[in-house]
Amino acid sequence: KETRNPTELFQIWLNLPKRSKMVDPYFTMFWSEDIPVVRIDDAEITLYTGNLGNHKTLSPPPHSWASQANSDIAVWSIKLKANGRFTLPKSNILSNRCLYFFSGETLEIENRQISVRNRITLHSLSHVDIQNGSLPAEILLLQGNPIGEPTAKYGPFVMNTQQEIRQAIYDYQRTGFGGWPWDRKDPVHNANSGRFALHADGTKEERK
């Protein structure tokens, strides 16, 4: 049956420090029912990574920059009721912090009117009062302490030097980074198989 597909996807890439560039790949499945959701006043905050008060998030992959105590990484989805308010708490570290206001009408932040489909850069060492407009709003919070290393990038590759970029491209062309395990480019799993995650070591997680 043809129906409307309301899925909205954000693909967020975190860089790795130089010491972790060549670690073995690691996969972690965050099941939706395990991800913490915090309700404060007029806001519903989904914590993908980055703790909020006493609310702890799931553990990120062990070599991720998000796993480092001083990374201050936070990725939150914030839903605000119409005409609702929320105070974004300050961080203890001077980090890059921004909000992407992607659904709603208007927000008022520090006495400034912000229209939907805008990114707002904030100071991480200050509390920020957010007043929503007349429609329910959804906001994506992205925050992190910079790694502080030089970067070189080309397409999806991010390394520290141009020589490393050339080597990464060569390695990909030579090996495919492990190859493609399926016999077609658009594999479709059995619709009756339910939800599952297949890990590199062959372990299969299943949920109803």
- The whole-number average pLDDT for the span 84-94 is 96
Percentage of the residues of the chain whose pLDDT score is greater than 90:
76
Q: What is the widest separation between alpha-carbon atoms in the chain?
A: 56
In the predicted structure, residue 2 carries a pLDDT above the cut 80: no
In the predicted structure, residue 20 carries a pLDDT above the cut 70: yes
- The whole-number average pLDDT for the span 71-84 is 98
Tens of pLDDT along 147-163?
Answer: 999 999 999 899 999 99
Kindly provide the residue ranges of all beta strands, DSSP E only, lying in the chain, ordered along the sequence: 37-40, 43-49, 74-80, 85-88, 96-103, 106-109, 112-115, 118-123, 128-132, 137-144, 152-154, 157-159, 195-198, 204-207
In angstroms, rounded to a whole number, what is the distance separating the alpha carbons of residues 72 and 172? Answer: 31
| Predicted pLDDT of residue 198 | 85
* DSSP character at residue 71: S
In the predicted structure, residue 36 carries a pLDDT above the cut 90: yes
| Predicted pLDDT of residue 183 | 83
**C-alpha distances in angstroms, 51 versus 37, 59, 93, 117?**
11, 11, 14, 26
- Higher pLDDT residue, 178 or 188? 188
Tens of pLDDT along 111-126?
Answer: 999 999 999 999 999 9
Q: CB-based contacts of 76: which residues, under 8 Å, 6+ apart?
A: 45, 46, 47, 48, 50, 52, 140, 141
| Predicted pLDDT of residue 1 | 58
| Predicted pLDDT of residue 3 | 80
